[in-house]
Amino acid sequence: MNVVGIIAEYNPFHKGHAYQIQKAKEQCGAEFAVVVMNGDFVQRGEPAIFDKYTRTKEALLGGADLIFELPVRFGLSSAGDFAMGGILALNALPFVTHLCFGTETGDLTPLLQAASFLCDEPDSYRTRVKHFIKQGILYPKARSLALAAESGLPTETWDSPNNILGLEYCVALQKLHSKIKPFTIRREGQGYHDNDTPALSDFPSATFLRKQIRKAGEKENLSLSDFSSLIGYSLLTAKDLCRIKDITPDLSDRIRNELPKYREINEFVKTIKNPSLTTGRIKRSFFQCLFDIEKEEPVMPYLRVLGMKKEASSLLSQKENASCQILTKLAFDVPKMDDTAKKLFAKDLLASDLYRQVFCHKYNQTLPNEYQHSPIVL
């Protein structure tokens, strides 16, 4: 039996995602599609526009069969760490046979070639990256230029958000010596960051949909600015910023020097940004500070089920064969965790609790906490 894995954010879920799930199942003859999805915060360093339960239900209605939550330690990370977290999760599940991801070209071969090169990372490549950074080029672009120069592959291979993630998935699969077989589907519709009005025949981008949702103001949602006070307080009270996962001494110094000017998070990000720091990196580091995500080796000691279709229950019957603990009922499962897992899961709980508190305060509502939530079953 084939089971296809997908790593996603669904921020929000849209027609393009449903198309990918359908085509993924068709292309590898999969009976089920298993998704590892970000929780309440996404890789770009922002809160998800809708909470994880809303997005889980939409994904199940859109064709997914079983959805797990990607721990926040990986969800709020660079493309490489995000991809590694997703692959660690899928690799821990005994039933996943394939990995599907979208790319602009739909061509897997050059990504596998580039991944093989990056798994070794020769000294000459690292030297080139440092050289480009010293010239004021941001790390992602410096890495792209160095990879093209050293590997001989065209930069078009990875010069788009989806191709970058696809490359990182291939790197993670090779580093873990995974038996999961990757394949890619050509992305249809608008580009990843396109926020213009799409043609009627296009699949709208998530960026465009978020813009329209906030413009309409009809659906309750959260944005980065809703967390301004919490972020400001966490940066102000942090004793050692360099403990935080993606905060370097240089970034720590910039934050400390500019912190007296802090008023609002979006403006502060612009103040901190310089040629060596991307906006995404800065925002991620702020939320890492808020959730106390430290510099630690990547591990996947558990996976939490967010939702499933009844037809996919046969997959969960194999959970004893998984290489990590599968969480379905927190009150029962959390006490069984070891100390490492409990420490990691505490950050997931904090992230979800703060998201819930900010939402409840903004919309004057009361929502159930994480222990009161059961997996969504359709």
pLDDT of residue 161: 84
265, 290, 315 - which closes a domain: 290
Q: Do residues 35 and 184 share a domain?
A: yes
pLDDT of residue 191: 52
Q: Do residues 217 and 228 share a domain?
A: no
* Domain annotation covers residue 48: yes
Dihedral (C-alpha) 6, 12, 14, 16: value to the nearest 10 degrees?
A: -50
Q: Do residues 332 and 359 share a domain?
A: yes
Separation CA 333–CA 239 (nearest Å): 33
Q: Do residues 92 and 196 share a domain?
A: yes
pLDDT of residue 121: 82
Q: Do residues 218 and 234 share a domain?
A: no
* Domain annotation covers residue 141: no
* Domain annotation covers residue 122: no
Separation CA 56–CA 52 (nearest Å): 6
**Per-residue model confidence as pLDDT tens for the chain (378 residues):** 999 999 999 999 999 999 999 999 999 999 999 999 999 999 999 999 999 999 999 999 999 999 999 999 999 999 999 999 999 999 999 999 999 999 988 899 999 999 998 998 888 999 999 999 888 888 888 888 999 998 888 887 777 888 999 999 999 999 999 999 999 999 875 454 555 555 444 678 888 888 888 877 768 899 999 999 999 999 999 999 999 999 999 999 999 999 999 999 999 999 999 878 889 999 999 999 999 999 988 999 999 999 999 999 999 999 999 999 999 999 999 999 999 999 999 999 999 999 999 999 999 999 999 999 999 999
What is the CA angle 160-164-166, rounded to 5?
120
pLDDT of residue 251: 96
Separation CA 300–CA 91 (nearest Å): 10
Q: Do residues 280 and 206 share a domain?
A: no
Q: Which of 44, 26, 10 is nearest to 100 (CA)?
A: 26
* Domain annotation covers residue 358: yes
* Domain annotation covers residue 325: yes
Q: Do residues 204 and 308 share a domain?
A: yes
In terms of Cβ atoms closer than 10 Å to its own Cβ (0-12, 13-18, 19+), residue 230 is middle
CB 183, CB 27: distance < 8 Å: yes
Q: Do residues 324 and 212 share a domain?
A: yes
Separation CA 121–CA 147 (nearest Å): 9
Quote the domain boundaries for residue 274. Answer: 224-290
* Domain annotation covers residue 115: no
Q: Do residues 340 and 303 share a domain?
A: yes
Q: Do residues 96 and 239 share a domain?
A: no
Q: Residue 196 sits in a domain of what CATH number? A: 3.40.50.620
- DSSP secondary structure, 217-247, as one string: --S----GGGGHHHHHHHHHH-S-GGGBTT-
Q: Do residues 210 and 331 share a domain?
A: yes
Q: How far apart are the first and last CA of the chain?
A: 22
254, 274, 290 - which closes a domain: 290
* Count of Cβ atoms closer than 10 Å to residue 29 Cβ: 11
Query: What is the number of structural domains in the chain?
Result: 2
CB 222, CB 47: distance < 8 Å: yes
Q: Do residues 67 and 13 share a domain?
A: yes
* Residue 50: DSSP 8-state: S
Length of the chain: 378
Q: Which of 236, 294, 220 is nearest to 47 (CA)?
A: 220
For 213, the token pair is 């949702």
* Domain annotation covers residue 118: no
* Domain annotation covers residue 137: no
241, 269, 290 - which closes a domain: 290
pLDDT of residue 201: 46
